[in-house]
Amino acid sequence: MTTGPALPLILNFTLPLLLGNLLQQTYSLVDAAIVGQFLGIDALAGVGASSSVIFLILGFCNGCCCGFGIPVAQRFGAHDYADMRRYVANALRLAVGISVTVAIVTSIWCADILHAMRTPDNIFRDAYLYLLVTFIGIPCTFFYNLLSNIIRALGDSRTPFWFLLFSTVLNIALDLFCILTLGWGVLGAAVATVVSQGVSAALCFAYMHRHFEILRSTRDERRFRSRHARTLLAIGLPMGLQFSITAIGSIMLQSANNALGSACVAAFTAGVRIKMFVISPFESLGMAMATYTGHNYGAVKPERIWQGIKVAAGLMLGYALFAFVVLMAGSDLLARLFIDPSQSEILADTRLFLHVASYFLPVLGLLCILRYTIQGAGYTNLAMLSGVSEMIARTAVSLWAVPALGYIAVCFGDPTAWIAADLFLVPAFVYVYGRLKRMTPPEKPIGGR
């Protein structure tokens, strides 16, 4: 990532990431589509009632994994491979402690979380089962994402995609088997997803151990080092908290929507699933920029980081226009993947949600590019504060706009949060880039800011 034209480098790195993200979103789409078509609207609402809580917890775990990959990318860019392997070894140790602890705590508090979110009684049981199994499977999700981020930090975004492709096919097969053959209902959808991610993590680890010679470490390199652990936590925890803080606002928004009834919950669930699939390219482009920035930060080439920003912005705007056309023209067709055509009111609410989001896609694209670039340079605390901006905006919409205006305010919840985040991120990037332009090869170039 440190030499050659930025456009082909970023584009070639982004494409496998995009395919991988689309496959991950396929997990959610398949679960929701099969549940909605075969188990009914209440079951679909049960799956969706806890989606923001899942984003809160898994977002924290995935954010930590992304953060743990940044020192690896920086050391790889600096060609310090021995220190890179020390970071990998310590990241794996930290992953065990964090993922198991989070799984235990969240499983214990699962029912209380749903009660606090005012989950309707008619969908509470399905929501509880889906959420509980997801929490129990957190270590599977954590390790897959950590191993994938380590591989991507080495400049390889293709290998994780192939394991995720296998896992997606397995997830679809298990969904159908658990729901239609075993009759496990919503529980089967959750079990299928967790098992699929666990298999993907195991295969990814076995492949890394066998084929990535650069990661084969000595006993000394595998030893626990408090300095490396502190650096990983200083970068990873703020990134995890940034996802979680963002999700707190989403929980507030979903809680306000839950109070509107199961029909609004079902429309919101379908709309969010479709939206997350459509916006995956923005997230993929941002993740590519994190690795691109990390490599060039380690190589002390700030001018290439700005070049990458301009290339990423051009790609983002082109896709935003394409996605706008798709959502405006095809929202009804997409909604019918989850909702029976006879449910006209729910279909109309889903269409409204998607149309509102489509107008603000460039705002979200800019958010992803700037946030991940700032993270890739190691300034994870600033990225976390952008999550605070999102949380405040969603909370304000939930507390004041939704009670006054109803479902239409729910539709504007995410776009309002994206605008708030950009108002913080633009000046934050100006500050970070000013620091990057003045940087010289430091004695210890890695560390949280």
Q: Pick the closest to residue 373 from 302, 283, 305, 445 (CA basis).
A: 305
What letters, b where the CB count within 10 A reaches 16 and e where it falls short, cover 355-386?
A: ebbbebbbbbbbbbbbbbbbbbbbbbbbbbbb
At 294 the pLDDT is 87
Sign of CA dihedral 438, 442, 447, 449: negative
Residue 193: predicted pLDDT: 83
Mean pLDDT, residues 424-446: 78
The single-letter DSSP state of residue 399 is: I
User: With 80 as the cut, is the pLDDT of residue 28 above it?
Assistant: no
**Which pLDDT belongs to residue 444?**
46
Q: Check pLDDT > 80 for residue 14.
A: yes
446: pLDDT confidence band, cut at 50, 70 and 90? very low
- pLDDT recorded at residue 422: 97
Determine the pLDDT at residue 19. Answer: 79
State the average pLDDT over residues 363-392.
91
Mean pLDDT over each residue of the chain, to the nearest integer: 86
Residue 430: predicted pLDDT: 94
Average pLDDT over residues 358-385: 92
Span 316-322, average pLDDT: 96
Confidence band for 263, pLDDT divided at 50, 70 and 90: confident
d(CA 375, CA 384): 9
Q: Between 123 and 174, name the one with better pLDDT.
A: 174
Of residues 171 and 37, more confidently modeled: 171
pLDDT of residue 36: 67
The pLDDT of 229-247, averaged and rounded, is 86
pLDDT of residue 119: 75
**CA atoms of 203 and 151, how far apart (whole Å):** 13
The per-residue pLDDT for 447 is 44
Q: If you average pLDDT over residues 138-143, what whole number do you get?
A: 92
- Look at residue 441 and tell me whether its pLDDT is greater than 60: no
Residues 6+ apart with CB under 8 A from 255: 116, 117, 118, 398
Q: Are the C-beta atoms of residues 292 and 9 closer than 8 Å to each other? A: yes
Domain ranges of the chain: 6-437
Question: Given pLDDT bands bounded at 50, 70 and 90, which one contains residue 249?
Answer: confident
- Model confidence band, residue 156 (pLDDT cutoffs 50, 70, 90): confident
Share of the chain above pLDDT 90, in %: 37
pLDDT at 117: 74
What per-residue confidence (pLDDT) applies to 443?
A: 46
pLDDT tens track for 91-118: 999 999 999 999 999 899 888 888 877 7
**Contacts by 279-282 with C-beta closer than 8 Å and gap 24+?**
279/323, 279/361, 279/364, 280/18, 280/21, 280/22, 280/24, 280/25, 281/14, 281/18, 281/21, 281/319, 281/323, 282/316, 282/319, 282/361, 282/364, 282/365, 282/367, 282/368
The percent of residues in the chain predicted with pLDDT above 70, rounded, is: 93
- How high is the pLDDT of residue 167? 81
Instruction: Outline where 212-338 has alpha helix (H).
Output: 226-258, 262-278, 280-298, 302-335
Identify the residue whose tokens are 């296998």.
166
